[in-house]
Amino acid sequence: MSRVDHRHRHLDRIAEVRAGDGAEKVGYPIGIRTVEVVRTAMVGSGLIRLTLGGPGVDGFEAHVPDEHVKLVFADPDGTLRLPESNGTMLSWPRPSPTSREYTVRRFDPDARELDIDIAVHDGGLAAEWARTVEVGEPVHVAGPPGGLVVPDSYDKYLLGGDITALPAIARWLEEMPPTAEGWAVIEVADAGEEIPLDAPDGVAIHWLHRDGARPGTTDLLESAIRSLPVPGPSDEDSLYVWLAGEAGTLKPLRRWVRDELGLARRDYDITGYWKLGVADYDDDHD
């Protein structure tokens, strides 16, 4: 009796959700792989791009803009403790090894290249490492465990966040249908952190400058987003909202999306990537 191969059924589910009318997170088989640094480059003044490659990227999966991988680092004493493959999942050692989570900015299977953009900030483990990492150095990558699949059928899209959300927003804009309409609102330190964005003509880009204020301490993002002419509860146009960045900054926007816009849970995703004053913060999803 022949067995049905279910290893790629997530691809069918991705296609189904993309053609549907509501977003859904779809899981992929999770792997742990050792790749190597191919090159590094600054992207604007606020992001360091690591291009990773080599045979270790073979079999890597990337399907949607909202995907994340973990870079796994050695312990302070130099001990490297990696998760182990367990079917389509990973078994992580306890206590968990040091890791940092980043958006998959770009994946090119033909060139065997994976881009990760890391926000520059003083004292960050990965940011400090990325400043000095050398070409050829091995990097241990876990994931992605899946991605948020958002249909192409929404009338309007609202994307927003700080520089930590910029890699995902940039990929979102590149992969949107050319007929997509909406807004992308990005808070950065100054004009030096702005980068070219390949957006559909119908998506308006709004850059917000903190002008010396510390990240995570302003209401720039909230004020700018709330001033946009987004569809409300009584409008016929459908809206999808994706926001990410400092958790405290996003808290009032969570309430606005739920209570004032009245969006259904499948019509938005709001994620705290980091929290002011908290090291190694776990993502806060809503």
Query: Sign (positive/negative) of CA torsion 94, 118, 30, 73?
Result: negative
pTM for the model? 0.94
Q: Which residues have a Cβ under 8 Å from the Cβ of 193 and sit 6 or more positions away? A: 44, 45, 46, 47, 163
CATH 2.40.30.10 fits domain 8-147: yes
Q: Which residues have a Cβ under 8 Å from the Cβ of 186 and sit 6 or more positions away? A: 160, 161, 162, 163, 165, 166, 169, 194, 205, 206, 207, 208
CATH topology of domain 154-274: Rossmann fold (3.40.50)
Assign 114 to helix, strand or coil: strand
pLDDT at 2 over 70: no
User: pLDDT band at residue 280, thresholds of 50, 70 and 90?
Assistant: low
Where are the CATH 2.40.30.10 domain residues in the chain?
Answer: 8-147
At 50-86, the pLDDT tens digits run: 999 999 999 999 999 999 999 999 999 999 999 998 8
Assign 90 to helix, strand or coil: strand
The per-residue pLDDT for 1 is: 37
Where are the CATH 3.40.50.80 domain residues in the chain?
Answer: 154-274
Is the Cβ–Cβ distance between 31 and 165 less than 8 Å? no
Question: From CA 235, how far away is CA 263, in angstroms rounded?
Answer: 12
At 195-235, the pLDDT tens digits run: 999 999 999 999 999 999 999 999 999 999 999 999 998 89
The per-residue pLDDT for 4 is: 39
Element (H, E) at 52: strand 47-53
Question: From CA 127, how far away is CA 109, in angstroms rounded?
Answer: 26
Nearest to 143 by CA among 111, 105, 104: 104
User: pLDDT band at residue 87, thresholds of 50, 70 and 90?
Assistant: confident
Rg of the chain taking only CA atoms, in angstroms: 19
